[in-house]
């Protein structure tokens, strides 16, 4: 993985490929490359490093009206020129770019080596180029299908062949591919960010599909082993703000997306609150009241920040709907052969809707007859198409690798889900109206919380000096602490570990010292006194403290840096306490001179297991 672009039409492909690759830089990568189809054959350039390095390395005449490009995030082999994509076959007439992982690459490499093929990289992708190149099928589509029939694993790929200069062939299994329709030209990408400047009319390939892309249009096929069946697919117009993908001057995507959170929360809530009955309207769930009352358990599935907000959401559902609920890492779910219960509602959470671990968990639930709904931000994404119903977040494009506004709107999505489930069951109309009123006030409270940005800068600079930190919280606060630690790790590369506050005395307290700061979440709730007592334990051992709390909380004489957050209803307070942790992370990273939009070793949409 990480990013794919392609173009075929009347323009020179090279500049368009470089522009598309630059617009995928936010996804994370360590090398970049491109291939164009010139009259004399394929011309290829690739470099370890940034897209700017590739631009400087391009040969003088890098011309052609069909081309493919790639930004790579290393999986097989280090970041080197040789391991960068595109990869060529032995004749130099086939070029392949690929996201995903070929699980049987070692066996295929051994087979190719035994056949006399000189492999020039450490990658799994190179075997695809050789398999396509060695095929003698009549069409390029058939050659690609024949090659894919040999591989096990996941892929999103694009193939150029000098013998078929009028087309690019793309395919998808577990890793996204989008085809963009232009005027006498076509675009290919793994992420719409690469093509929205040129077209917003797109078609998303489904798993198991191949498409032939020519300057005049595209044709899709279903792939069954090596057999192809024509499968018509229409393109649709995207409702997207193209400017959201432009890098803001003087800041960056992550800063902009943090500041966009009030508007994002408002969009998530718009049209979904019912003041009269104190409930939410979520028609996209495709659940009538009788089906809703039959739900006996809720299981949330997500990865990374989506998993942590899933824990927050599970807590909300238990509180408001009084249904047993828990969250599990989607990456582990299907490997324990889970028991799928007919009266359990499974909720898949993913910003991109393409997270491979979560998608595979969804497919496992559906394979065993379970009902699964999605909380996703991208219309037309794989998870959105796979689930039985769902809640679109309407956060707007989230470009930064570290999630902020998507996570916030995920929490709001869970609040709406919990409210609707609760009002069908045992949540009183009075409590329903209380939550509705609090949700209506939430955009303003988020805006007020963002006013902490400047005061938190000095606190963040102090935290940035530490090599290791603790984040602690109880019950509703624990998953918030986990998300806060995640944010700091993602953008500062500091070690940060989250614990339930009550667990400190069961081992981790041994690590508390003046060199290990603790960020503590202390809301005004039924556990305030116990949380304050834990702060004394940390302070007694010389541990520096940053306390995210409410103005009404009496911390006594605890020595600390205090951060007072606006109050909402206690069920919604975790959302407001998450925002200062985002600000601490981005301030700390900026103080360390790090680019928060390009965190090392990370990708925006994880499409490999």
d(C-alpha 518, C-alpha 229), whole Å: 59
How confident is the model over 315-320, as a mean pLDDT? Answer: 96
Q: How many CB atoms lie within 10 A of CB 592?
A: 15
Cα–Cα dist 158/170, whole Å: 4
Q: Report the pLDDT averaged over residues 467-493.
A: 96
Structure token digits, residue 531:
């949380």
What is the pLDDT at residue 178? 93
Assess whether pLDDT exceeds 60 at residue 557.
yes
User: What mean pLDDT comes out for the span 391-401?
Assistant: 90
pLDDT digit string, tens, across residues 406-444: 999 999 999 999 999 999 998 999 999 999 999 999 999
The span from the CA of 297 to the CA of 343, in Å, is 7
Pick from 46, 40, 28: nearest CA to 93? 40
- Give per-residue pLDDT as tens, 125-135: 999 999 999 99
DSSP secondary structure letters along 339-366 = PPPTTEEEEEEESSS--HHHHHHHHHHH
Is 2 designated active site? yes
What confidence score (pLDDT) does residue 238 get? 77
Residue 75: the pLDDT is 77
Residue 280 has pLDDT above 90, yes or no: yes
Sheet holding 545-549, edge to edge: 495-500, 468-473, 518-522, 545-549, 561-564
pLDDT recorded at residue 230:
87
Give the separation between CA 208 and CA 100, rounded to whole angstroms: 14
- pLDDT, tens digit, 9 for 90 and up, residues 233-276: 888 887 776 676 776 666 788 999 999 999 999 999 999 999 99
Cα–Cα distance measured from residue 577 to residue 12, given in angstroms and rounded to the nearest whole number: 50
Task: Tell me what pLDDT residue 606 has.
Answer: 65
CATH top-level class of 451-596: alpha beta
Residue 1: band (very low, low, confident or very high) from pLDDT cuts 50, 70, 90:
low
pLDDT band for position 604 (cuts 50, 70, 90):
low
Q: Determine the average pLDDT of the residues in 27-38.
A: 87
Convert the pLDDT of each residue in 354-364 to its tens digit. 888 999 999 99
Model confidence at 79, in pLDDT bands (50, 70, 90)? confident
State residue 353 phi and psi, 5-degree precision: 75, 10
Predicted confidence at residue 224, as pLDDT, reads: 85
The alpha carbon dihedral of 355, 394, 241, 251 has a sign of: negative
Across 46-57, average pLDDT: 89
Q: Where are the beta strands (DSSP E) in 290-343?
A: 297-302, 325-329
| CB 606 within 8 Å of CB 357 | yes
Q: What is the mean pLDDT of residues 206-226?
A: 92
Q: What is the 3-state secondary structure (H, E, C) of 450-515?
A: HCCHHHHHHHHHHHHCCCEEEEEECCCHHHHHHHHHHHHHHHHCCEEEEEEHHHHHHCHHHHCCCC
Catalytic, out of 46, 405, 487, 604: 604
Locate the domains of the chain by residue range: 2-245, 249-450, 451-596
Evaluate whether 61 touches 39 at the Cβ level (below 8 Å). Answer: no
Task: Answer yes or no: is pLDDT of 593 > 90.
Answer: yes
Residues 163-204: pLDDT tens digits? 999 999 999 998 889 999 999 999 999 988 888 888 889 999
Percentage of the chain modeled with pLDDT above 90:
77
Angle, CA of 330, 179 and 46, to the nearest 5°? 85
**Helix axes of 477-492 and 305-321: crossing angle, nearest 10 degrees:** 170
Short-list 219, 213, 223, 183, CA closest to 201: 183
Q: What pLDDT does 559 receive?
A: 94
Decide yes or no: CATH 3.40.462.40 for domain 249-450.
no
Is residue 598 flagged as an active site residue? no
pLDDT over 70 percentage in the chain: 97
Q: Across the beta sheet with 236-237, what order do the strands follow? A: 41-48, 31-38, 66-72, 2-8, 186-189, 178-181, 201-204, 236-237
pLDDT over 60 (residue 488): yes
Which pLDDT does position 383 carry in this prediction? 92
Report, in angstroms and rounded to the nearest whole number, the Rg of the chain calculated over CA atoms: 25
Q: Looking at 2, 46, 299, 489, which residue is catalytic?
A: 2
Query: What digits encode the pLDDT tens for the residues 562-586?
Result: 999 999 999 999 999 999 999 999 9
| Residue 186 host element (H or E) | strand 186-189
pLDDT digits (tens, 9 = 90+) for 492-538: 999 999 999 998 889 888 889 999 999 999 999 999 999 999 999 99
Do the strands 186-189 and 344-350 form a parallel or antiparallel pair, or are they unpaired? Answer: unpaired
How far is residue 435's CA from residue 425's CA, in Å, rounded to a whole number?
15
Quote the CA–CA distance of 258 and 12 in Å, as a whole number: 37
Mean pLDDT of all residues belonging to the chain: 92
> When comparing pLDDT for 78 and 133, which is higher?
133
Pick the range with the lowest mean pLDDT from 25-29, 104-108, 173-177, 469-473.
Answer: 25-29
Flag whether pLDDT at 601 surpasses 80: no
Cα–Cα distance for residue pair 509/497, rounded to 1 Å:
12
Is 451-596 in the same CATH topology as 249-450? yes
pLDDT of residue 608: 59
Q: For residue 603, name the pLDDT band (cuts at 50, 70, 90).
A: low
The per-residue pLDDT for 250 is 66
CATH architecture of 2-245: 4-Layer Sandwich (3.60)
Nearest alpha-carbon partner for 203 in 224, 219, 222, 223: 219
Q: Quick one: DSSP state of residue 246?
A: S
């Amino acid at each position: 993985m990480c990013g794919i672009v392609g173009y075929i039409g009347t323009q020179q492909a090279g500049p368009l490929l470089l522009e598309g690759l630059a617009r995928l830089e936010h996804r994370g990568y360590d090398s970049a490359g491109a291939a164009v189809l010139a009259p004399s054959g394929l011309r290829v350039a690739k470099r370890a490093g940034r897209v700017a390095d590739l631009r400087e390395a391009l040969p003088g005449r890098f011309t052609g009206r069909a081309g493919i490009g790639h930004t790579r995030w290393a999986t097989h082999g280090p970041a080197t020129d040789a391991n960068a994509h595109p990869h060529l076959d032995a004749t130099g007439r086939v070029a392949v770019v690929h996201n995903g992982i070929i699980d049987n690459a070692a066996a295929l490499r051994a087979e190719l080596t035994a056949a006399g093929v000189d492999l020039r990289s450490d990658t799994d992708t190179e075997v695809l180029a050789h398999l396509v190149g060695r095929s003698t099928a009549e069409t390029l589509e058939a050659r690609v299908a024949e090659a894919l029939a040999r591989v096990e694993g996941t892929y999103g790929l694009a193939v150029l062949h000098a013998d078929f200069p009028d087309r690019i062939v793309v395919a998808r299994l577990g890793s996204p591919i989008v085809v963009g329709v232009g005027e006498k030209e076509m675009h290919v990408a793994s992420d719409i960010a690469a093509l929205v400047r040129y077209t917003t009319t797109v078609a998303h390939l489904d798993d198991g599909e191949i498409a032939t892309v020519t300057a005049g249009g595209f044709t899709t096929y279903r792939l069954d082993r090596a057999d192809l069946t024509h499968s018509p697919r229409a393109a649709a117009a995207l409702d997207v703000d193209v400017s959201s993908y432009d890098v803001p001057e003087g800041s960056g995507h992550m800063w902009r997306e943090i500041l966009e959170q009030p508007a994002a929360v408002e969009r998530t809530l718009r049209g979904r609150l019912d003041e009269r009955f104190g409930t939410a309207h979520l028609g996209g769930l495709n659940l009538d009241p009788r089906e809703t009352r039959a739900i006996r358990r809720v299981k949330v599935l997500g990865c990374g920040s989506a998993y942590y907000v899933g824990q927050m959401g599970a807590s909300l559902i238990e509180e408001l709907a009084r249904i047993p609920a828990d969250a599990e890492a989607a990456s582990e779910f299907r490997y324990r052969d889970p028991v799928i219960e007919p009266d359990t509602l499974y909720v898949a959470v993913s910003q991109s809707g393409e997270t491979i671990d979560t998608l595979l968990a969804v497919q496992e639930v559906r394979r065993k007859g379970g009902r699964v709904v999605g909380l996703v931000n991208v219309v037309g994404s794989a998870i959105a198409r796979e689930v039985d119903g769902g809640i679109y977040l309407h956060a707007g494009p989230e470009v930064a690798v570290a999630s902020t506004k998507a996570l916030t709107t995920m929490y709001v999505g869970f609040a709406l889900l919990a409210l609707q489930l609760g009002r069908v069951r045992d949540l009183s109309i009075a409590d329903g109206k209380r939550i509705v009123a609090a949700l209506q006030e939430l955009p303003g409270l988020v805006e007020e919380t963002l006013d902490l940005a400047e005061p938190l800068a000095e606190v963040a600079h102090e935290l940035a000096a530490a090599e290791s930190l603790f984040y602690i919280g109880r019950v509703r606060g624990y998953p918030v602490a986990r998300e806060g630690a995640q944010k700091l790790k993602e953008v500062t590369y500091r070690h940060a570990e989250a614990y339930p506050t009550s667990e400190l005395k069961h081992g981790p307290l041994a690590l508390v010292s003046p060199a290990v700061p603790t960020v503590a979440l202390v809301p005004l709730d039924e556990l305030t006194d116990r949380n304050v007592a834990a702060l004394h334990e940390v302070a007694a051992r010389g541990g520096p403290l940053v306390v995210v709390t409410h103005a009404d909380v009496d911390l006594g004489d605890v020595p600390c840096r205090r951060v007072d957050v606006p109050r909402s209803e206690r069920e919604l307070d975790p959302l407001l306490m998450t925002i200062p942790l985002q600000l601490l992370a981005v301030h700390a990273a900026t103080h360390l001179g790090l680019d928060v939009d390009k965190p090392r070793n990370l990708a925006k949409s994880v499409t490999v297991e």
